[in-house]
Structure 1
């Protein structure tokens, strides 16, 4: 068992927001990737789309999730599934930071996980 603590002082910019990626983490073999994400007060992520499936879990605060030009309220405790190919961004019009965790996966990540798992299981 290993706990990895969030390092808020060293978040990395990506997609117009700040975050800490799950990988690399040498003890973790997972069929997905993830990141802790921080959208600063008044900020927003860069609109984008990709081939991966994605889940966002709202952790703290409130924001708007814009998916294919439709806007949805996104608040702490909400979980959203984003299908491949949709254009999306997170907009934080509030005066407080918004935090969420994003998890994404595709068939290549799953295949890599199975290969690594089989190698680990073979004596």
Structure 2
């Protein structure tokens, strides 16, 4: 189930990449990302990009506050607001090359079966 869910996430990520959106890392928030290192490491291996788990339990609200701080003139731009207001990350998961290579082959089979 974990692998199938992660393969679905990879399909979504690949679609973004196919449309020209560069993805070099993923930021995860709440729920499973805070509770299951196994799931997050598997996801990092399948997506083959680092995954950072946001510390904030309210990351979406924090992001909105950053944009509001820029609009309100507190910060000149989003990068400055992020630097000043970030809550940081609880964990970072990096792809394990040997496992990422295996998952690449399995993902291709997953796609084949889906077609």
Do both share a fold (TM > 0.5)? no
**Which structure is higher in strand share?**
1
**Which structure is higher in helix share?**
2
TM range (shorter): under 0.3
